[in-house]
Amino acid sequence: MPDAVVIGAGHNGLAAAILLARAGWEVSVVEANDEPGGAVRTAEVTLPGYRHDLFATNLNLFAGSAFYAEFADDLTRHGFALAPTARPFSSAFPDGRFVGVTTDREETLGMIDAVSPADAEAWSSLFAWFERIAPHLFPLLGTPLPSVDAAKTLWSGVRALGRTWPYELARLVLSSPREFVEEHFESPEVQALVASWGMHLDFAPDVAGGALFPFLESMASHANGMVLGRGGAQRMIDAMVGLLEELGGEIVLGQRVEEVTVAGGRATGVVLADGTKIEARRAVVADLTPTGLAAVTDDPRIRDAASRYRYGPGTMMIHAALRELPRWRDERAASFAYVHLGPYLEDMSRTYVQAVSGYLPDSPTLVVGQPTVVDPSRAPEGRHVLWIQVRALPARIRGDAAGAIDAPDGTWTTSVAAAYAERVFDKLDGYAPGIRDLILDHAVLSPADLERADANLVGGDSLAGSHHPFQFLFLRPLPGWTRHRTPVPGLYQCGAATWPGAGVGAGSGWMVGHMLLGTAHRLGRLAARRR
């Protein structure tokens, strides 16, 4: 009988399992899919030799995590390596303008100055503020909420930054991306450059509470660049699995959990689809969303609460094998890991409203990733892969804003997905002419495909649940479910549906592991070492 059973082999579930196994606990991880990783997987979905990160690709959060700081040597020993770039992100615009952010301060300011000298000065001021507050902000993101450690971290910030710090932080957390960028920048291009990061979550420019993520991503990328996983993000998962097994942990693949067993009001184990029962002496940890958890429990408190959990809009992934890099209208774009194609705040706002209203957006918001610019090992020599994330799309289709695609039953059929992918290529062609001529093969994953690949991505929501203020910070995933506890004693929850939210950062698994080991007091100090 193991001490703990972990449901789901996503990176957070694996992180929790590794911490427990290292402490001497017997741990079993049960995964419904035939391979581990959840939304962190790499596969040759186009041609042999072309490795595509199917979903997540940016490993910045993981590289800066307390988990990686402690286990980096072990993961390296198991084959994981980082592929860094000093040219993390950029934005291109219809009139040929281009703005990129690199770790070279002068180069970045030069590109911004070409658009707006005033914005170059504003960027410098904002970055100086970021450097001043970062040591007091990032530890909060690695601390359980609510908690004494969080209060101590906030108080430490007050002593260092002054009594206005909590109010400045609250204002930042509550602002919309538009409010934030219009306060700091005058040009539409630089406003879009920063606000585009909001669309990686479910923060369109006018959604309250969406300023924090674009601010942190823009400034942190400017400071540190971006990292991918050499050979594909899957190498990170493979290394975590190898380390877990080395520590004595067990991972069971291709087995769906049907039920979390409860005795005496406490979670005691799980029942698998084939009838196998696995008891747990100390805890059950679920790397699931609240609705996923409700599907395997009979507790009415969980079912009622989960019915109120909200998901964001869906995502489409398009993976292409290329004979050469896109021929961008501004050739500087070819050197960046990400090229955002909104292009402007108004376009992103319209796209988001159309998607959440159930309509296929007439002009999709695109995150165009160029992984082989950072890691050439992902394709044959001289060839490339393209990673295109389409943000945002409806889970159920009521119609097409452009009036060209018919989805009579409201579902993402293969033909609907293929037709929408052509719209994506049409838009991309406006910024990189002749892109279709460079594509050797491509694969399209619709929002429905994302949910089939990972049950946590409900409706194709790659974030496993909205990050709007009513469902974030100490309210994530739901009121009363904070600190990764569920209404059932002995049943804990981790993953993107819990604090600190989406992203490949291992934060929630790290917190759950330490809570179960009684070492939660270490979290604030460890999180402070992230940056």
Listing DSSP states for 327-395 in one string gives --SSGGGGG-SEEEE--SHHHHHHHHHHHHTTEE-SS-EEEEE-HHHH-GGGSSTT-EEEEEEEEEE-S
pLDDT of residue 526: 47
The four Cα atoms 64, 69, 74, 75 give a dihedral, to 10 degrees, of 0
- Phi and psi angles of residue 472, each rounded to the nearest 5 degrees, phi first: -140, 175
Residues in a beta bridge with 338: 89, 369
Residue partners of 179: CB distance under 8 A and separation at least 6 = 211
pLDDT at 528: 42
Characterize the bridge pairing of strands 89-92 and 98-101.
antiparallel
Backbone phi, then psi, for 277, in 5-degree steps? -105, 130
With contact defined as beta carbons under 8 Å apart, do 459 and 395 qualify? yes
- Do 64 and 530 contact (CB within 8 A), yes or no? yes
- How many of the other CB atoms lie within 10 Å of CB of 441? 12
- The tokens of 243 are what? 């380390």
Domain 4-38+63-81+232-309+463-528 indexed as CATH 3.50.50.60: yes
Digit-by-digit pLDDT tens for the chain (531 residues) are 999 999 999 999 999 999 999 999 999 999 999 999 999 999 999 999 999 999 999 999 999 999 999 999 999 999 999 999 999 999 999 999 999 999 999 999 999 999 999 999 999 999 999 999 999 999 888 888 888 889 999 999 999 999 999 999 999 999 999 999 999 999 999 999 999 999 999 999 999 999 999 999 999 999 999 999 999 999 999 999 999 999 999 999 999 999 999 999 999 999 999 999 999 999 999 999 999 999 999 999 999 999 999 999 999 999 999 999 999 999 999 999 999 999 999 999 999 999 999 999 999 999 999 999 999 999 999 999 999 999 999 999 999 999 999 999 999 999 999 999 999 999 999 999 999 999 999 999 999 999 999 999 999 999 999 999 999 999 999 988 889 999 999 999 999 999 999 999 999 999 999 999 996 444 444 444 444
Give residue-wise pLDDT tens across range 63-85: 999 999 999 999 999 999 999 99
Q: CATH 3.50.50.60 residue ranges in the chain?
A: 4-38+63-81+232-309+463-528
* CB of 342 closer than 8 Å to CB of 75: no
Instruction: Give the C-alpha separation, 108 to 120, whole Å.
Output: 8
pLDDT in tens, 478-524: 988 889 999 999 999 999 999 999 999 999 999 999 999 996 444 44
